[in-house]
Amino acid sequence: MIYCDNMIQPKKYTKTSKIPPKGFNSANEFFEYVFNDKEMIWMGQNTNHLHKESDILDEMVRCVESREYCKYPPPEGFQELKNLILNDLDLEDKDILITAGGTESLYLCMHNILEPKDTVITCDPGYLIIDDFASRFSNKVISVPIYSEDNDYKLTPELVKEFMDENTKIIVLIDPLNPLGSAYTEEEIKEFAKIAIQNDIYLLHDITYRDFARKHFLAAHYAPDHAITVYSFSKIFGMAGLRIGSVIGTEKIINSIRTILINDLGTNVVAQAGAIAALKSKDTWIDEVITITRNNQNLIKKCVDEIEGAFIPVHPSDANMLAIDLKGTGINPKVMADYLLKRKVFAREGTYTSKLFGDNYLRVSFSIPEEQVKIFVDEFKSAVEVLRK
Count CB neighbours of 185 within 10 A.
11
Question: Strands 202-206, 227-232: parallel, antiparallel or unpaired by DSSP?
Answer: parallel
Residue 144: which residues within 8 A CB-CB, separation 6 or more? Answer: 121, 122, 123, 124, 155, 159, 160, 163
Q: Look at residue 19 in the predicted model and tell me its pLDDT.
A: 76
| Whole-number Å distance between alpha carbons of 325 and 309 | 8
Report which residue type is found at 93: D
The sign of the torsion formed by the CA atoms of 173, 179, 180, 183 equals positive
Provide the pLDDT confidence category of residue 23 given band limits of 50, 70 and 90. Answer: confident
Looking at every residue in the chain, the average pLDDT score rounds to: 95
| Nearest Cα residue to 357 out of 382, 387, 319, 326 | 326
> How many CA atoms lie within 13 Å of 364's alpha carbon, on the beta-carbon side?
29
Local confidence band at 21 (pLDDT 50, 70, 90 cut-offs): confident
Looking at residue 17, its pLDDT comes to 66
pLDDT confidence band for 8 (50 / 70 / 90): low
Asked whether residue 138 carries a pLDDT value surpassing 60, the answer given is yes
* Pairwise CA distance, residues 53 & 346, whole Å: 25
Domains defined along the chain, listed by start:
18-51+283-387 (3.90.1150.10), 55-281 (3.40.640.10)
Rounded CA separation 338/330 (Å): 16
pLDDT for position 263: 87
Q: How many CA atoms lie within 13 A of 384 on its CB side?
A: 21
SS (H, E, C) 279-307: HHHHHHHHHHHHHHHHHHHHHHHHHHHCC
Per DSSP, the chain holds a count of helices (H) and strands (E) of 11, 12
Is residue 35 scored above 60 in pLDDT?
yes
263 C-beta neighbours (distance < 10 Å), count: 15
Q: Residue 195's Cα: distance from chain center in Å? A: 24
Interval 199-255: pLDDT, tens: 999 999 999 999 999 999 999 999 999 999 999 999 999 999 999 999 999 999 999
What is the per-residue pLDDT for 95? Answer: 98
pLDDT tens digits for range 297-318: 999 999 999 999 999 999 999 9
Phi-psi region of 152 (alpha: psi -120 to 50; beta: other; left: phi over 0): left
Q: Containing H/E element for 257?
A: helix 251-258
Question: Does 4 have pLDDT greater than 60?
Answer: no
* CA-wise closest residue to 295 among 50, 52, 54: 50
Percent of the chain whose predicted confidence (pLDDT) is above 90: 92
For the residues of 29-86, what is the DSSP string, one character each? HHHHHHHH-TT-EE-SS-------S-HHHHHHHHHHHTTGGGSPPPTT--HHHHHHHH
The reported pLDDT for the residue numbered 53 is 81
